[in-house]
């Protein structure tokens, strides 16, 4: 139950932490991790 | 397209807003949804729902950070759909693992959601950047241990160790603040 709550509340943390980890998402794409979404439109949010 | 220009499209009620959002952030949103749902079709559906929610919310909302705003929207939509689909059973994918990992960090508590989120923000702010990114990758973006290790070019055991130590630290912080009873 509390794991569910904490998982949900992690979705409300400060935007800057989300953006910071997005930069890593970009890097992940560069090295080919997460190919399950390779058919999706390219992302170009390097400087949101 | 610049984020501000996209938000202006929403405010002018131009349907190009959704097109621009999909072009710039569609892949990112789909990654989050897929990490949670492990189904391309379900992820597509959640991403489309996210666009609709953004369309309904902007205006009056004017997000300061559009990317983070969309990330939170698609995360919430996807988790909601996941919970609906798995009301009786735990499915595959990262969600049950992540819920289980976080289970012991927060004991039964009377603290409000906003109080817990404030503590989470304080906790995240004091972490070393790499640790914070690993933690957010796992517990915000629902990345697998394997993906985090591959992306960072470190061993999976190292990622597991970082996450374990960080969860233990978080538990101590929450307990020290009286959140965990």
pLDDT at A26 over 90: no
| % chain B with pLDDT above 90 | 75
Among candidate residues A7, A15, A29, A27, the one with its CA nearest the CA of residue B30: A29
Q: Mean pLDDT, to the nearest integer, of B112-128?
A: 94
Q: Which residues contact B164 (CB under 8 A, 6 or more apart)?
A: none
For the four alpha carbons of B170, B171, B174 and B177, in that order, the dihedral sign comes to negative
Which pLDDT does position B124 carry in this prediction? 98
Q: Which of A4, A33, A45 sits opposite B24 (nearest CB)?
A: A45
State how far the Cα of B170 lies from the Cα of B77, in Å rounded to an integer: 26
The single-letter DSSP state of residue A43 is P
Per-window interface: B 74-133 vs A, CB < 8 A: 75-76, 79, 95, 98-109, 113, 116-117, 120-121, 124-125, 129, 132-133
Residue length of chain B: 181
Q: What is the pLDDT of residues B26-43, one digit of tens each?
A: 999 999 999 999 999 999
Q: Which two tokens stand for residue A35?
A: 């190919």
Q: Which residues contact A14 (CB under 8 A, 6 or more apart)?
A: B121, B124, B125
pLDDT at B110 over 80: no
Which pLDDT does position B111 carry in this prediction? 79
Q: Which two tokens stand for residue B89?
A: 């059973």
Per-residue confidence band for B180, with pLDDT thresholds at 50, 70 and 90: low
State how far the Cα of B133 lies from the Cα of A24, in Å rounded to an integer: 7
Q: What is the pTM of this model?
A: 0.83
Q: Which two tokens stand for residue A33?
A: 């991790």
State how far the Cα of B52 lies from the Cα of B129, in Å rounded to an integer: 34
Whether residue A7 lies within 8 A of chain B, CB to CB, comes out as yes
Degrees, nearest 5: CA angle B132-B58-B49: 70
State how far the Cα of B27 lies from the Cα of A26, in Å rounded to an integer: 10
Which residue, chain included where needed, has tokens 């749902």? B37
| % chain B with pLDDT above 70 | 93
Which pLDDT does position B87 carry in this prediction? 65
Using an 8 Å Cβ cutoff, are B36 and B142 in contact?
yes
Q: Which of B34, B105, B141 sits opposite A6 (nearest CB)?
A: B105
Give the C-alpha distances (Å, rounded to integers) separating B28 from A20, A26, B36, B118, B124: 14, 9, 13, 26, 22
Q: Compute CA B130 distance to the chain's CA centroid, rounded to the nearest angstrom.
A: 17
Cα pseudo-dihedral B166, B172, B174, B177, rounded to 10: -140
Q: Are A21 and B140 within 8 A, CB to CB?
A: yes
Q: What is the pLDDT of residues B73-90, one digit of tens each?
A: 999 999 999 988 876 555
């Amino acid at each position: 139950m509390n794991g569910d709550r904490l998982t949900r509340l992690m979705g409300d943390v400060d935007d800057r932490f989300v953006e910071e980890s997005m930069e890593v998402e970009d890097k992940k794409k560069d090295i080919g991790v997460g190919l399950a979404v390779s058919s999706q439109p390219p992302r170009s949010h390097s400087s949101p | 397209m610049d984020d501000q220009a996209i938000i202006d499209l929403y405010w002018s009620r131009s349907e190009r807003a959704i097109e621009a959002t999909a072009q710039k952030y569609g892949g990112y949103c789909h990654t989050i949804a897929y990490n949670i749902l492990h189904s391309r079709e379900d992820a597509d559906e959640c991403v489309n729902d996210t666009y609709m929610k953004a369309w309904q919310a902007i205006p009056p909302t004017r997000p300061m950070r559009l990317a983070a705003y969309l990330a939170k929207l698609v995360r919430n939509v996807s988790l909601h759909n996941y919970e609906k689909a798995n009301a009786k059973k735990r499915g595959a994918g990262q969600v049950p693992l992540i819920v289980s990992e976080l289970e012991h960090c927060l004991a039964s508590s009377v603290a409000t959601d906003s109080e817990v989120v404030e503590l989470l923000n304080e906790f995240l702010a004091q972490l070393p950047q790499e640790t914070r990114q690993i933690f957010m990758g796992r517990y915000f973006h629902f990345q697998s241990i394997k993906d985090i290790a591959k992306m960072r070019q470190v061993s999976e055991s190292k990622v597991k160790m970082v996450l374990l130590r960080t969860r233990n630290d978080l538990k101590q912080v929450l307990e020290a603040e009286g959140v965990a009873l």
